[in-house]
Structure 1
């Protein structure tokens, strides 16, 4: 073949796209993604149904008392105490959100814009610690404030992260002191 014929063949391009096949793949992928999201949603609802025996957390009282400590940050969810991957979703406890924590003599007030607020009475508090993770959130060592409390007969760990992580040790000390002070009252 002559170089002129080779150049002419190189300039002529073949059809690059098979549109029906490409559209078919895109529709199939979109349906697969929709199916996965639907299954995740159904799993979340099923977990809530399985945990429906949990009593509803108390609402924030009108007069919770004078604030001992306040903290602004994020609520990362609640799990069964000691099982950091067993997320509790019943009563909105699995919903991540911004949070304003207030510790009073009456207990721990958790206000969450866009999610259900709740209150942990001082008698229900069991302790606090610094940890590195809770279901769906892993941080550096000591980056998460974990509060253990009783909801009915079940112990729960709730994870919080302050906007200023330097506040965490003061919260651990205050919550553990409150727990020690109320142990005799149980």
Structure 2
């Protein structure tokens, strides 16, 4: 095989791989086209208990930290303002509609080290497990830049909803 032939073969393989990746992402965005929640603002009477400058890392299926959900506004890691209120968590991601996770849908808050393409120091991420509009459980990973992950997790923890009693834990 000539040098030019080998180069053409490598370029063809690269183009096929790129096309397959684009096709896979297209299928994933089609699968996850529905918004995870229809709530887009905190109630006017909500009491804000914390504001954090941070990063939205990813949303994945519960206990599947490598299975990214590409719902509208949540497909990519981004800077985010995280607002914790008594009625839920609001994520303001630049260029996207505000995402609100209502307090009654929050099932668990924990700290994590790995989420998809992000590995940080031990327990450097906050994992919020919650139910979508369709009842699916997902994990949303956040990282505070102006506070510790423990402080962010501790401010969210009082919102955990106990489905057995119907009240905050």
State the TM-score, normalizing by the size of structure 2: 0.81
Deviation, 1:116, is 4.1
Gaps of 5+ in 2: none
Structure whose alpha-carbon radius of gyration is higher: 1
**Residue of structure 1 aligned with 2:99, choices 118, 141, 149:** 118
Change (3 A) 1:174 1:156: same
Deviation, 1:57, is 4.5
CA distance in 1, matches of 2:44, 2:8: 55
Deviates more, 1:96-105 or 1:169-178: 169-178
Deviates more, 1:59-68 or 1:33-42: 59-68
Change (3 A) 1:180 1:54: closer
**Residue of structure 1 aligned with 2:56, choices 68, 75, 80:** 75
State the TM-score, normalizing by the size of structure 1: 0.75
More helix by share: 1
The number of aligned residues is: 165
Gaps of 5+ in 1: 1-20
Deviates more, 1:108-117 or 1:93-102: 108-117
Query: Aligned ranges for residues 1-186 of structure 1 at < 5 Å?
Result: 25-52=6-33, 55-61=36-42, 63=44, 65-152=46-133, 153-164=135-146, 166-179=147-160, 184-185=166-167
Give the CA RMSD over aligned residues: 2.7
